[in-house]
Structure 1
Amino acid sequence: MKIDAGNVNAVPSKRLFLSIIADYDLNRSICELIDNGLDVWTRAGRRQPIVIDVHLDPDEQSICVEDDAGGLPREDLGVIVGPGQSGSVATAHETIGIFGVGTKRAVVALAKQIVITTRYQHAETFQIGFDESWLNDEDWVLKVHQVDDLPVGTTRVELYQLRLLLDDDNIKMLRHHLSATYANFLTNPAVMIRLNTVPLEPRFFDNWAYPPEGSPQRWSGPMRTPSGKLLRVDVIAGLSKESSPATGDYGVYFYCNNRLVAPAMKSFEVGFTRGQAGLPHPKVSLTKVIVSLNGDADEMPWNSSKSDVSTKHHVFTALHDWLVTVVKHYATLSRTWEGQWPEKVFVYDDGDITFNEVDDFLTAKRAVLPNLPVVRPRLPVRITKANSGVAQAKPYVVGLYEGVVAARTLVKQDLSQRNWLAFNLLDVSLTGALKEYLVNDAGAELSSLDLAQLINRDRTVSADLRARVPLPDPLWTKVEQMGRLRHDLTFGRAAPKISDEQLAAADAIVSEVLARLFDVKLAA
């Protein structure tokens, strides 16, 4: 049975604007207004240059965004505030604004008083405005006024009674954000975006390193979506020539129709999880993958505020498996070479990106990648393995050879006093070797005070110590010289300085002592 029981009023309340603006900050809101100008310019065929001026006034606490993209016709003014209405024709252009709600949220999120003035080409100039009282009234009608003409094709959005406080810090952060978001547009000589009259400079993230066994790769090709529309997909992946664990500038970047949508993604959806690329960690902070998608706006996998990727979107899910193989490959390289980045990665700051053509990304489940290099185990692993028998028989020797490993590792760090610090580690290991031999191997019954006096090498090595520890005289001479050098540098007035040659000599001395006394192998 079905009987007509009347109608329900489904007209949305204007309060929906206020209920859905929580995710709009200054950066996202200004981007929405810039997106509008770029979309108008794109729909017009990008035949003329475009200038977008963003002016933020901390003194007046006001914002003005103006563009000369072409303006809105009188009949399209409802697009400005009508939920779900959008000026973009997604099937015709690679535009950005298709949801029809972003601009409305953006202006309401920023201000309580909004004035929008537009002149379509050479036509008259019209203006609409609204404030809190209009938002609190359920009448959707807005008054349109004809006003003094703006320059031809100009739209101006003025915001007053701001909901946030403008200051130098958030203006600086906005410049940083816009320079990255619109970097691809800013390289076009026909596009100028200015913030407080100063043009933005593009900010990219393609600072690649070119190691021979892990050079960056590029894949390009089409993707035919389930609706039959064709997207262009371009992916560049590789290792960055600088580590960025603190700033987090590694991971996966998504550009949609030339606009940066999701920077530095490190979620499990793009492979940063156990069993794939691993969890986000400084060891994988050289990993960088840049995905660029171009095509119909309604096929872009962005969210409604264009501030992230929708990982449930059919385009993203189609790319997922392929993308994860790429992320995993370069994360593995980053982790494998961690500790050797300066000589394995950063030194290769020039090279070529290998190009790969993909027939259809929709059916490409795994990226074709070069084999990972056969990597020699790290020094600690090699030394530990080489001395496993000694360590089992004489556990007190472990700390001695680990001191040498620590010194060799420390000297590779970017520290101004790395040689001096490494030299001290070696000297401590040498002193420890003499003590452990006397106590554990020679069985000398000495008090702690007697032991300290016996192995003191500040100026000379005592005859008693030489007699108790079986080392050849030439080696004792070197041991004595090393102790004297350490004493003079420690207590001298000048800052201590150890040359590479002096450090290498100290390493050789300690390695020979450990080899003769305990059969420790340090050349592994």
Structure 2
Amino acid sequence: MCDHIVESPFKVAPDSFIVDGTPQKRLFRSIIADYGLLTSICELIDNAIDHWTASGRQRTLLIQLFLNADRQLIAIRDNAGGVPRSDIQLLVSPGASRDEAGHQFIGNFGVGGKRAGIALGQRVEVTSRHGEGETLRFVLSDDWLTQDTWEVEVERVPEIEPGSTNVSISSLRQGFSFSDIDALGRRLAEIYANFVGENCDIRLNGNSVGRTKFDNWAYPPEHRPKISNFAISPSEDGTTVAVRLSAGLIQDREPKEGNYGVYIYCNDRLILAHEKSHEVGFYKGEAGVPHPDASLARTIVEINGAPELMPWTSNKSGINWSHPTFLEIRSRIVSLNAHFVKVSRRLKNEREEKVYAHQKGEMEEISLDHKESYKKVVDLPLPRGRRKAYSERIIDENAGITLSKPWTLGLVEAMGVADTIARKRLHTKNRIGLIILDSNLEIALKEFIVHRVDLYPPQKIRTLNFLSCSRKGMR
């Protein structure tokens, strides 16, 4: 039978029984494997931002992170308003989270903050003061994880700053270095760029992380960046989600870093950056395979709505490609991305004059309201393929002559090579070019004599060779 049969207040059929569904503590250990330093820190920042959002964002939010690489300690402090006594359970119980309609929260799974702290260290101490009220503290440790009970002792402690919460994590499970701290700062600047500003600041070891945005568009007149705003209803109850798609050529191209592709934000938080997978159009027939030729193209996807309708994964480090919200907009993302990848490929040899030179302008608004309207993007004009170099054009233009008179091919190619050398930064390029032209003229004349049998029959050619050899001997 079952060891966890309990009495129930509900009527049970004679041939039925009730099983206790209370989760075991091992739940925490089984779901922290996909949490590292960045994802864990982000979950704790998400919690602070959600508290701030729930209180109406009435004050300037300050989130302070302290990472001590020497002592391997982590502390997070925020002034988001503090956690009221009635909500302390939300910080402990798995699955417990806010249920406030109308808020675009970025933490909705009810386990993120809990498992993030436990994933980082063996001891997590949380101290919070709601407004001007009492200061409460509790500890989650490995000792607590080994106990059968879910009860947590919450104690009153000396007051901290009003409306603040402090989280201290020690006995870390995974260590970090000074370079890890630097990398963390750069990533936080990207992930929370839409929050950091006049009313929000995130500081790492006393310094603001700042913000890094990816809307660094170039504005070539014929290929301005496109933008489209529309709403979708991915749920059966008709709840809408606002979507904004932006795409274009960029000015901050870094081919080594691969900072092109698709960027996805959910409720203003960056979830995925420089994505180049099949799911966003990088396959044959659309954007093709990822290649530096495509590194001028970027597509930004911004999705805002109820947190349960966001297509993020549970730790918010990726996208659930089978989520209804993403599937609803995927075709439009693929179409926009593929269009500007094609433009990027065709302008790869003219970036300076046709892309980077256009630093200011306005985005072109297009309509992608309907599911099928994305097809219109395919009809957007593409630039012509790159113009061939002079050395290639001269061969094409003289193809008829070189075919009928083979001795002229060397002359034609020599002109192309001389032109190429003339464009190089060489002090003696004129002399090199003259040597090439003189040598090729001599060779072409010899080939002319050999091929024009009507003017120079074999007997006459042998005479010319004899004369040539005699003169060389005289020298």
For this structure pair, what is the TM-score category when the shorter chain's length is used for normalisation?
0.7 to 0.9
The one of 52, 66, 71 equivalent to 2:82 is: 71
Checking the alignment, whether the CA contact within 8 Å between 1:262 and 1:307 is kept in structure 2 is: yes
2:351 corresponds to which residue? Answer: 341
- Residue 349 of structure 1: how far off its partner (Å): 1.4
Distance 1:333 1:356 in 2: 17
State whether structure 2 residue 388 is matched by structure 1 residue 379: yes
State whether structure 2 residue 330 is matched by structure 1 residue 323: no
Distance 1:331 1:97 in 2: 34
The one of 271, 274, 296 equivalent to 2:284 is: 274
State whether structure 2 residue 131 is matched by structure 1 residue 121: yes
Checking the alignment, whether the CA contact within 8 Å between 2:418 and 2:437 is kept in structure 1 is: no
Unaligned runs of at least 5 residues, structure 2: 1-12, 452-467
Whichever residue aligns with residue 212 of structure 1, its letter is P
- Residue 241 of structure 1: how far off its partner (Å): 1.8
1:20 corresponds to which residue? Answer: 31
The one of 437, 447, 455 equivalent to 2:444 is: 437
Query: Structure 1 residues 432, 376: closer, same or farther in 2, change over 3 A?
Result: farther
1:61 corresponds to which residue? Answer: 72
Query: Structure 1 residues 260, 399: closer, same or farther in 2, change over 3 A?
Result: farther
Distance 2:206 2:388 in 1: 55
RMSD: 3.1
Q: How does 1:159-238 map to 2 (within 5 A)?
A: 159-187=169-197, 189-226=198-235, 227-238=237-248
1:259 corresponds to which residue? Answer: 269
Whichever residue aligns with residue 348 of structure 1, its letter is H
Distance 2:25 2:407 in 1: 75
Checking the alignment, whether the CA contact within 8 Å between 1:408 and 1:422 is kept in structure 2 is: no
Query: Structure 1 residues 376, 196: closer, same or farther in 2, change over 3 A?
Result: closer
State whether structure 2 residue 45 is matched by structure 1 residue 34: yes
Checking the alignment, whether the CA contact within 8 Å between 2:225 and 2:249 is kept in structure 1 is: yes
Distance 1:424 1:204 in 2: 51
Distance 2:397 2:349 in 1: 21
Whichever residue aligns with residue 215 of structure 1, its letter is R
State whether structure 2 residue 18 is matched by structure 1 residue 11: no
- Residue 285 of structure 1: how far off its partner (Å): 0.4
Q: How does 1:490-509 map to 2 (within 5 A)?
A: none
Q: Give the match's secondary structure for 1:183.
A: coil
- Residue 183 of structure 1: how far off its partner (Å): 0.7
- Residue 426 of structure 1: how far off its partner (Å): 5.4
Distance 1:33 1:333 in 2: 41
Checking the alignment, whether the CA contact within 8 Å between 1:407 and 1:425 is kept in structure 2 is: no
- Residue 334 of structure 1: how far off its partner (Å): 0.3
Q: Give the match's secondary structure for 1:54.
A: strand
Whichever residue aligns with residue 173 of structure 1, its letter is A
Query: Structure 1 residues 122, 374: closer, same or farther in 2, change over 3 A?
Result: closer
- Residue 92 of structure 1: how far off its partner (Å): 2.2
2:61 corresponds to which residue? Answer: 50
The one of 86, 95, 101 equivalent to 1:84 is: 95
Residues 150-175 of structure 1, C-alpha deviations (whole Å, 9 max, x = no match) = 21111111000112223221111011
Distance 2:431 2:231 in 1: 59
Distance 1:246 1:439 in 2: 50
Distance 1:289 1:425 in 2: 47
2:458 corresponds to which residue? Answer: none
Checking the alignment, whether the CA contact within 8 Å between 2:407 and 2:444 is kept in structure 1 is: no
Query: Structure 1 residues 50, 422: closer, same or farther in 2, change over 3 A?
Result: farther
Whichever residue aligns with residue 324 of structure 1, its letter is V
Query: Structure 1 residues 237, 299: closer, same or farther in 2, change over 3 A?
Result: same
2:416 corresponds to which residue? Answer: 404
Query: Structure 1 residues 367, 427: closer, same or farther in 2, change over 3 A?
Result: farther
Distance 1:369 1:110 in 2: 47
Whichever residue aligns with residue 401 of structure 1, its letter is E
Distance 2:431 2:187 in 1: 46
Residues 45-75 of structure 1, C-alpha deviations (whole Å, 9 max, x = no match) = 1122211111111222101111111111222
Distance 1:193 1:57 in 2: 17
Query: Structure 1 residues 300, 389: closer, same or farther in 2, change over 3 A?
Result: same
Checking the alignment, whether the CA contact within 8 Å between 2:349 and 2:386 is kept in structure 1 is: no
Q: Normalising by structure 2, report the TM-score.
A: 0.83
Tell me whether 15-24 or 240-249 shows the greater mean CA deviation: 15-24
Whichever residue aligns with residue 232 of structure 2, its letter is M
Distance 1:46 1:410 in 2: 64
- Residue 409 of structure 1: how far off its partner (Å): 10
Residues 233-268 of structure 1, C-alpha deviations (whole Å, 9 max, x = no match) = 222211012432210110111111111111111111
State whether structure 2 residue 295 is matched by structure 1 residue 285: yes
Distance 1:428 1:114 in 2: 78
Unaligned runs of at least 5 residues, structure 1: 412-416, 445-463, 468-524
2:112 corresponds to which residue? Answer: 102
Report the count of equivalent residues: 437
Residues 270-315 of structure 1, C-alpha deviations (whole Å, 9 max, x = no match) = 1111110111100000001111111211111111111112111111
Distance 2:137 2:428 in 1: 70
Q: How does 1:302-317 map to 2 (within 5 A)?
A: 302-317=312-327
- Residue 21 of structure 1: how far off its partner (Å): 2.1
Tell me whether 308-317 or 435-444 shows the greater mean CA deviation: 435-444
Distance 1:329 1:120 in 2: 51
Distance 2:98 2:442 in 1: 82
Distance 1:156 1:342 in 2: 50
Q: Normalising by structure 1, report the TM-score.
A: 0.76
Checking the alignment, whether the CA contact within 8 Å between 2:248 and 2:297 is kept in structure 1 is: yes
The one of 152, 161, 164 equivalent to 1:142 is: 152
- Residue 436 of structure 1: how far off its partner (Å): 4.9
Distance 1:286 1:342 in 2: 12
Query: Structure 1 residues 400, 134: closer, same or farther in 2, change over 3 A?
Result: farther
